[in-house]
């Protein structure tokens, strides 16, 4: 009946025909509109901005690659880059192995109270970074802090947030406390996805626990490890709020300054938006190169 109706009204028929062509584009339009407005346009505009420098609020001057040249000669940028790399290295060598270890423990048959432990290890990530920084400010206090109360026993009072050499270790340890439990959940999910038959087959072949770990667990976890590695690396390179509050803006002597913190300072405190955009693009290239290299080394691009 409806079919007849459509045949008798050519306009309606044309509309149905047309909308079939348009509809798919309409369905995907929200993503593309949002992407262009909030990602595409800012990306292009920040690239353009990196070639200019602001002259107050209303006008700007074209400086070409001047900002990039300045950046590579800027000692605070290099210090921030070193600090950021230090944090990333600390995250990958300390935080991720701890996360994997916790996941293995919670996946084993011998540990009791798994749900409570899982919640306990995961809970720090629910705390906003600002609060974590405030709490750890007290924990690292030179005289009365929780950490030093222990270290004083060994005869040394460490100025965690007051001596240049200890600032980044303090930030790394805080990062471990906050994020190890979060990464543990990824590893746990990965471990639970490994087929039990593989372990049974390994046992039949006479493999001990360590051999099973090396030859069954780790290879099976490869995609998860790759994911956690890359995400953690990107997160580390974007580090900002934790050291910003913990070290009161990177002090002393920029020992706690990171790339994003330096970007923020230039953009918002010094009103050097062109320079800040330049730092942003350099950071983007660093992240892109490291991520591609990591994924390649971990064999993610290989066909299985």
**Whole-number minimum distance, CB 225 to another protein, in Å?**
33
Q: In the stretch 143-172, what mask flags binding to another protein with x, by CB under 8 A?
A: xxx---------------xx----------
Residue 169 CB, nearest distance to another protein (Å)? 17
Distances (CA, A) of 37 to 34, 45, 46, 180: 5, 11, 13, 35
- Which residue, 157 or 205, has its beta carbon nearer to another protein? 157
Contact flag: residue 248 with another protein (CB under 8 A): yes
What number of chain residues touch another protein (CB under 8 A)?
A: 31
**How many CB atoms are closer than 10 A to CB 87?**
24
Does residue 46 bind another protein (CB under 8 A)?
A: no
Of the candidate residues 10, 24, 30, 56, the single one contacting another protein (CB under 8 A): 56
E strand or H helix at 51: none
Give all strands (DSSP E) within the chain, no chain letters.
52-55, 59-62
DSSP 8-class letter at 154 = G
Q: Which residue has tokens 């509109």? A: 33
Cα–Cα distance for residue pair 261/126, rounded to 1 Å: 23
Integer Cα distance of 87 and 85 in angstroms: 5
Region from 110-118, 170-178, 219-227, 263-271 binding another protein, contact rule CB under 8 A: 263-271
Considering beta carbons, is residue 6 or 44 the nearer one to another protein? 44
Residues that bind another protein (CB under 8 A): 53-59, 61, 63, 137-138, 141-145, 161-162, 246-248, 251-254, 265, 268-271, 273
């Amino acid at each position: 009946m409806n079919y007849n109706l459509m045949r008798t009204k050519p306009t309606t028929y044309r509309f149905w025909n047309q909308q079939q062509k348009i509809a798919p584009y309409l369905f995907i339009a929200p993503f593309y509109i949002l992407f262009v407005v909030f990602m595409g346009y800012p990306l292009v505009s920040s690239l353009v901005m990196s070639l200019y420098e602001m002259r107050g609020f209303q006008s700007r001057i074209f400086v070409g690659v001047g900002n990039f040249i300045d950046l590579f000669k800027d000692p605070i940028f290099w210090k921030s880059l070193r600090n950021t790399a230090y944090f990333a290295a600390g995250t990958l060598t300390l935080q991720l192995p701890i996360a994997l270890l916790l996941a293995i423990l919670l996946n084993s048959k011998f540990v009791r109270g798994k749900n409570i432990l899982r919640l306990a290890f995961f809970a720090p990530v629910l705390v906003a970074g600002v609060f974590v920084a405030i709490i750890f400010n007290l924990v690292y206090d030179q005289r009365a802090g929780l950490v030093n109360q222990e270290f004083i026993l060994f005869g040394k009072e460490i100025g965690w947030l007051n001596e240049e050499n200890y600032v980044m270790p303090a930030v790394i340890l805080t990062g471990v406390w906050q994020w190890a439990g979060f990464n543990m959940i990824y590893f746990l999910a990965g471990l639970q996805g490994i087929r039990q038959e593989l372990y049974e087959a390994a046992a039949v072949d006479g493999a001990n626990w360590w051999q099973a770990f090396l030859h069954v667990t780790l290879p099976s976890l490869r995609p998860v490890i790759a994911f956690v590695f890359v995400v953690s690396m990107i997160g580390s390179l974007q580090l900002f709020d934790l050291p910003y509050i913990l070290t009161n803006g990177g002090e002393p002597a920029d020992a706690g300054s990171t790339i994003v913190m330096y970007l923020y300072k230039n953009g918002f405190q010094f009103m050097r938006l062109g320079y800040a955009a330049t730092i942003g693009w350099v950071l983007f290239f660093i992240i892109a190169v490291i991520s591609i290299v990591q994924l390649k080394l971990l064999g993610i691009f290989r066909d299985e």
